[in-house]
Amino acid sequence: MNHILIYQFDDAPEELQQLSEHGGDEEWIIIIPNTILNKHHGYISMFEQKFIDNQEVEHENYPDCTIYISAH
């Protein structure tokens, strides 16, 4: 994958929604290929500043990607 995927939480695939530990205040699921993260480190700081609570998860259907579940 060579692009960033952003889902509103309720529109994300169920398999990704089930990974959340936030307990109901989720807003977004963001999938970033590690090749993009390695090339553009600014993405991480952008997400840390923009979203109050990020949970980083992994899923077998998205190898070599970093997945963030954000909540407020």
The span from the CA of 9 to the CA of 20, in Å, is: 10
Q: What is the pLDDT of residue 45?
A: 66
Contact by Cβ (8 Å): 68, 54: yes
Domain ranges, residue 31: 5-71
How many domains does the chain contain in total?
1
Record the pTM. Answer: 0.78
Percent of the chain with pLDDT over 90: 22
Contact by Cβ (8 Å): 9, 29: yes
Q: What is the pLDDT of residue 16?
A: 92
Alpha helices in the chain (DSSP H): 14-17, 34-39, 42-50
Question: In the block, which residue shows the tokens 């692009």?
Answer: 3
Taking residue 70's Cβ as centre, other Cβ atoms within 10 Å add up to 21
Confidence of residue 52 (pLDDT cuts 50, 70, 90): low
